[in-house]
Amino acid sequence: MTPPHSPTLTPADIARIALKRLAELGLPPTPENYTKFYNAIAAIKSPTDKSDEELKSAYQVLFRVSDVLDDMAETSESLLADLERGGEMMSQSLGVIRSTTDRKRIEDALNALIESTDSVCQTVSSSQRDLVELKQAVDKIQSDLAINRKTLEQDPLTGALNRQGLEHTLSKEVKRARRAGHALTVAIVDLDEFKQVNDRFGHLVGDKVLLHFATVVKAVLRESDTLVRYGGEEFLLLLPETAGEGARFLIDRLRQVNAKTPFFHQNNHIDIRFSTGATQLRADENGHAMLIRADEAMYKAKNGGRDQVVYVD
């Protein structure tokens, strides 16, 4: 069944982690650095669910984002200030040219105007180089963010999405279903008697069973479908553009493929059976309400004798 959520970090916990990260990266614990890291850590959901290396990588990317934003602000302020000064000097020179017929004053004003124009050109050119470098930094950060997001939202054992990844995907699919008027079905699959596998063969073998089953599920799902490691031995299937009959067909197909793909450990056949609860998104509910109804249907399948599917409208 689904394990309990990790406890929420207190402000004191976040502060302690922030100071630790600063020390690890060799950064001075200035108020500015501390604030950046504190905010970065507080922005990451369920940090205790992630490994130290995953978190450190995420913090580094977030810290670089803050630095780039600071550089952009500084570059923009400098450019605007230089352009303002150049504009004032040009206006003064043009004012002199318009108001006098003295050749010497006009010549001096023209020279000042040329110098101001040249200074503005150099400022724009320099700022352009800075902005190009900043764009390259942003592109690199975007790439790192994509990698970190995938890592943070992926179950390390099975390669399926974890609950954090589900949050983003569920919201996106619900909006897409509403916009296009398509059906959206979710199925929660719970392996039957999985505790007996762990008790008899150990947790390492139990992990292999989970990985094997996840591989079987991926072979059955379409490219547009999503597999989520929903709990310890629970998986969630998010099925866009799929109504009741399509979901039943897919789950029947999963049963067939699972039966034809047995799992063996040291010549021992470990039978993998599962109970499933499935339901379709209603017009008057959000994605989380749909998940609750699917979870209730799965428990009905469990209480009804296991190794079956319960579909609720």
Q: Give catalytic residues, as residue numbers.
A: 233
Q: Are strands 226-229 and 234-240 parallel, antiparallel or unpaired?
A: antiparallel
Closest by CA position to 281, among listed 157, 158, 187, 191: 187
Q: Which residue has the tokens 């614990």?
A: 29
3-state SS assignment for residue 227: strand
DSSP per-residue letters across 114-130? HHHHHHHHHHHHHHHHH
Given a contact cutoff of 8 angstroms between Cβ atoms, the answer to whether 235 and 2 are in contact is no
* Cα dist from 238 to 138, 170, 183, 221, 223, whole Å: 33, 8, 11, 10, 11
3-state secondary structure 128-166: HHHHHHHHHHHHHHHHHHHHHHHHHCECCCCCCECHHHH
How many Cα atoms are found within 13 Å in the side-chain-facing hemisphere of 97? 14
